[in-house]
Amino acid sequence: MQKLYVLYDAACGFCSACRRWIERQPTFLPLEFLPAQSPELATRFPGFEAKAAPEELVVISDEGGVYFGARAWVMCLWALEEYREWSLRLAQPALLPLARAAIVVLSGSRGWISGWLGLVGDAHLASSLQDEAAPRCDGGCSAPVHRAGR
């Protein structure tokens, strides 16, 4: 396995915050994040049909493995250098039901968690930035140039 594709709900603040946290972690293999609502998904993964509002995380390996919910979270942790040991523990038959129950609670509450923490989704951020007018310069806004070695 050389790469994992992580399909997440870009409209969800909690999901987007989790994506940003995972992106900051050192990894054993590359992770590529794709909004589950993306039209690109059908061309990348023919035959895979994502929902407009995904209720759970989905991870697809470059070898064709597809993981949903708790197993998808375990795969994300497995890819992270500092959390692989945790992923191996959580994947055990005795702990996977506990992980699954925790993910069900989090997934069912992600809208409330997003609102409570004031988190906005990546899709909301992107549309907000598109709606903003570009800053205008009236000639007096040049920044000083810093050259290396001076």
Does the pLDDT of residue 127 top 60, yes or no? Answer: no
Q: How confident is the model at residue 98, as a pLDDT?
A: 82
Q: How confident is the model at residue 30, as a pLDDT?
A: 96
Does the pLDDT of residue 88 top 90, yes or no? Answer: yes
Does the pLDDT of residue 5 top 80, yes or no? Answer: yes
Per-residue pLDDT band at 45 (split at 50, 70, 90): confident
Per-residue pLDDT band at 16 (split at 50, 70, 90): confident
Q: Please compute the mean of the pLDDT values over residues 95-124 and round it to a whole number.
A: 70
Q: Please compute the mean of the pLDDT values over residues 88-96 and round it to a whole number.
A: 90
Q: Please compute the mean of the pLDDT values over residues 84-111 and round it to a whole number.
A: 80
Per-residue pLDDT band at 125 (split at 50, 70, 90): very low
Find out whether 38 and 47 touch, Cβ atoms under 8 Å.
no
Q: How confident is the model at residue 38, as a pLDDT?
A: 83
Q: How confident is the model at residue 129, as a pLDDT?
A: 43
Does the pLDDT of residue 60 top 70, yes or no? Answer: yes
Q: How confident is the model at residue 52, as a pLDDT?
A: 47
Q: How confident is the model at residue 46, as a pLDDT?
A: 81
